[in-house]
Amino acid sequence: MTDENSLIRVLLNLDARFDERDDAAMDLESYNGLNVISALAKIASDPREDPGLVDSAAESLGGVMARTGFRDAQIIEGLTPSARVMVISILNARS
């Protein structure tokens, strides 16, 4: 069984294949915790990252925030514009 720390390592590993990082971003939606939120936000706030990976991280971040009720305006404000829209949309749809 893969734990969130293993998934976070893959997500943040710039040498990992895109599909591995993308899968890790999507799988992290099932976990809670500030370490998960921080890792997803790191990717979703980096305009140099692949837009598809940013989208996956933002979708999972929105899912975690919606499920746990965790809200942090500073994290949301720091996201790329497209990631911010996605997270806010998920939060609005699931509230």
Neighbours of 80 (CB within 10 A): 20
Element (DSSP H or E) covering residue 49: none
pTM, rounded to two decimals: 0.95
Evaluate if residue 14 carries a pLDDT over 60: yes
Query: What structural domains does the chain harbor?
Result: 4-94 (1.25.10)
Q: Rounded mean pLDDT of 75-86?
A: 98
pLDDT digit string, tens, across residues 20-65: 999 999 999 999 999 999 999 999 999 999 999 999 999 999 999 9
Element (DSSP H or E) covering residue 27: helix 18-27
Q: Is 15 helix (H, G, I), strand (E, B) or coil?
A: coil
Structural tokens at position 36: 């998960």
